[in-house]
Amino acid sequence: MKRWYPRQIRRLVMILLALGVLLAAAGVSREWFPLCGLGIAVMVGAILFHLLFYRCPCCGKFLDRSTGDFCPYCGKRVNPEAPPENKR
Ligand SMILES: [Zn+2]
């Protein structure tokens, strides 16, 4: 199984949260509550995913709201060298 780094987990959680908010907002504006419930379910799922997987790959401690590249508990780097994103 591919190893997920905290940075990737955080990005995925943010995308899921945004998607959940959009779905819930669309559900409210159309007064279609199944869609609203789906949006809330996606948001809850994103938070659970964050709680379960946003951990230090070295010591396994929950990183909470830490966004740095180093674990606040063991001091190890939690993200690899910045992946080569399309710079040009
Ligand atoms: Zn650690």
Side chain identity, residue 17 = L
User: What is the per-residue pLDDT across 18-74, written as a single tens digit (0 to 9) for each?
Assistant: 999 999 999 999 999 999 999 999 999 999 999 999 999 889 999 988 888 889 999
Contact in structure between 36 and 27 (CB atoms under 8 Å): yes
Report how far ligand 1's centroid is from the alpha carbon of 73 (Å): 5
Q: What is the pLDDT of residue 69?
A: 86
The confidence score (pLDDT) of residue 20 equals 97
Q: Could you state, in order of their start, the residue ranges of all structural domains in the chain?
A: 6-53
pTM over 0.85: no
Q: Which two tokens stand for residue 46?
A: 């994103």
pLDDT at site 12 = 94
Q: CA of 28: how far to CAs of 19, 31, 33, in Å?
A: 14, 5, 7
Taking the centre of ligand 1 as the mean of its atom positions, its distance from the CA of residue 77, in whole angstroms, is 8
Q: How far is the CA of 56 from the centre of ligand 1 (A)?
A: 5
Distance 46 CA to ligand 1 centre (A): 22
Instruction: Say yes or no to pLDDT of 87 above 80.
Output: no
Considering Cα of 22, then 23, then 25, then 30, what sign does the dihedral take? positive
Ligand 1: centre distance to CA 63 (Å)? 8
Residue 86: pLDDT above 70?
Answer: no
56 phi/psi in degrees, rounded to 5: -70, 130
pLDDT of residue 4 exceeding 90: no
